[in-house]
Structure 1
Amino acid sequence: MKYMLVIGPQRLKQAMIIGTSLLLAILLGYAERETITAFSTSDTAPHAIYKVDTKEKKIALTFDISWGETRAEPILNILKEKNVKATIFLSSAWSQRHPELVKRIKEDGHEIGSHGHKHDFYSKYSDEEIRRQIRLADSILTDLAGKKPTLIRMPNGDFDKRVLKIADSLGYSVIQWDTDSQDWTNPGKDVIIDNVLSKAHPGDIVLMHASDSSKETHLALPVIIDKLRAQGYALVTVSELITGTDVKSEEVH
């Protein structure tokens, strides 16, 4: 006697949903294997730097500035008052509109890095346009600051292998971060402080912002500085952090 399995409409629908979910999981897993990033310095391909491997209690505070009129100066005032030298990644379009602030950043002794020209996702650009954007920013920042930047943080933290290779060919190291303050979400002063202090570690690169979208950074910053120092951390520039240390970088496929 032969038996036939009969599945009702509801069961069939459930089975199809489960099957579709499994297929998506398999495809996503494959995609992640193709695009996953892993800490590595095993080859000579350019890498983005997220932190350094050190036991010394050193941390680099970094700030991105891409637009706005009101937030940069209060943050610069705090850094000067606290005698902190930071690495500040400047959009060259913003810098053209605020040459006096670029001059102050330089005179206050901060390290100036490039944040590109147009604030966009560079990985979607052609090689030619990526090169044009980086070169344009390079020319403007070199003219305003009197020194060619050697560090770049891509707008939106966005890059792929092409971006890394082109940046490297133009004399730049791509700098990311290992601790994100998430100050741009304006979650409240105490949350920003906790976002940094709960994750800070030796060799860390901390992401913060001095654009007008970040309305609470200047409130959290003094506490962050004081508490990091109380924990024994020295606050240094990115170049000081990575000089003579093993960098932790991510390989991009």
Structure 2
Amino acid sequence: MKKHSHTAVSFRLKSIIFFVAALVLCAALSLCAYTSGAYAVFYGGTSRKLPVYSVGREDKAISITFDCAWGADHTDDILSALKDYGVRATFFMVQFWAEKYPEYVEKIAEYGNEIGTHSKTHPHMPKLSAEEITAELKSSSAAITDVTGKQVELFRPPFGDYDNKLITAAEELGLYTIQWDVDSLDWKDLSASDIAVRVTGRVKSGSIILMHNNGMHTAEAVPIILQTLIERGYTFVPVGELIYRENYYIDVSGRQMPYSN
């Protein structure tokens, strides 16, 4: 009888320990910690910094972004569409693109759009050393500032590749690392209609849309996307106006959320 009682107590004790451990693990999986402007998601005893994929907004604000790395044939048509609908976008530029097309850097900025860096040479940046990453970011940001006269505040990693080292280097230069939660796949051979359907079917409040300035059918898709989403009550703002600059955390999905008061 005593042996059975001891076994039951031991089982209850182990159950309690397991339950507490599970609670701690769940909390760790969802916890985001503030460290010198950086937010890290803790998983399995390690921490991984996350960029911003989308933003938790109570309104219906969203951002449309364009990566500029190869060519500029369709850029005028994209800018015309943005202007027609009164939309300001964010363009992420590789340095060699900005240097090849300085007239477009000027025009994009003059139209009220925001410009962020997309690196100097479009490498897989996690493969670089911290010093090489910093050099890429400093050089590309300076090249944009030289043309626009405006400080660069946003960075999008080439290929969407990132690690803690990369995000830390960006933060130390005052750059917010920005990804996306809606991929247009406009770099593939999709029709303008297919691109528009794909984007408009995935957008939610706080979404960041990824497009490319020289996609084959991107310029045709942009007016469809803008009109459809505006009719649904969405408001387009540059990424710099979409994100929070303080009192925020980033959840495990990369969604930037404000701390509740």
Answering whether residue 87 of structure 2 is matched by residue 84 of structure 1, we say yes
2:218: which partner in 1? Answer: 217
Partner SS, residue 187 of structure 2? helix
Q: Deviations over 1:200-223 (max 9, x none)?
A: 000111111103xx1001111101
For 2:135 and 2:120, the matched residues in 1 are separated by 9
For 1:200 and 1:218, the matched residues in 2 are separated by 19
User: What's the CA shift for 1:39?
Assistant: 7.0
User: What's the CA shift for 1:191?
Assistant: 1.5
8 A Cα contact 1:150 1:171, kept in partner: yes
For 2:71 and 2:52, the matched residues in 1 are separated by 27
2:240: which partner in 1? Answer: 239
Provide the alpha-carbon RMSD of the alignment: 1.9
1:74: which partner in 2? Answer: 77
Q: Deviations over 1:16-51 (max 9, x none)?
A: xxxxxxxxxxxxxxxxxxxxxx77633423431111
2:101: which partner in 1? Answer: 98
8 A Cα contact 1:50 1:250, kept in partner: no
- 1:69 is aligned with what amino acid? A
8 A Cα contact 1:60 1:238, kept in partner: yes
Shift of the 119–68 alpha-carbon distance from structure 1 to 2, 3 Å rule, reads same
1:114: which partner in 2? Answer: 117
Alignment gaps of 5+ in structure 1: 1-37
Greater relative CO, 1 or 2 (CA 8 Å, sep 6+): 1
8 A Cα contact 2:30 2:252, kept in partner: yes
- Decide which of 171, 175, 181 is 2:174's aligned counterpart: 171
For 2:159 and 2:75, the matched residues in 1 are separated by 18
1:42: which partner in 2? Answer: 33
Partner SS, residue 101 of structure 1? helix
Q: Deviations over 1:217-242 (max 9, x none)?
A: 11111010000011000111111111
Normalised to the residue count of structure 1, the TM-score between the two structures is 0.79
Shift of the 249–106 alpha-carbon distance from structure 1 to 2, 3 Å rule, reads farther
Shift of the 86–40 alpha-carbon distance from structure 1 to 2, 3 Å rule, reads farther
Answering whether residue 61 of structure 2 is matched by residue 58 of structure 1, we say yes
2:186: which partner in 1? Answer: 183
Shift of the 233–69 alpha-carbon distance from structure 1 to 2, 3 Å rule, reads closer
User: What's the CA shift for 1:250?
Assistant: 5.2
1:228: which partner in 2? Answer: 229
1:148: which partner in 2? Answer: 151
Q: How many residues align?
A: 213
Alignment gaps of 5+ in structure 2: 1-28, 40-49, 255-261
8 A Cα contact 1:49 1:176, kept in partner: yes
User: What's the CA shift for 1:149?
Assistant: 0.5
Shift of the 184–79 alpha-carbon distance from structure 1 to 2, 3 Å rule, reads same
For 2:34 and 2:176, the matched residues in 1 are separated by 16
Partner SS, residue 55 of structure 2? strand
Question: % of aligned pairs identical?
Answer: 36
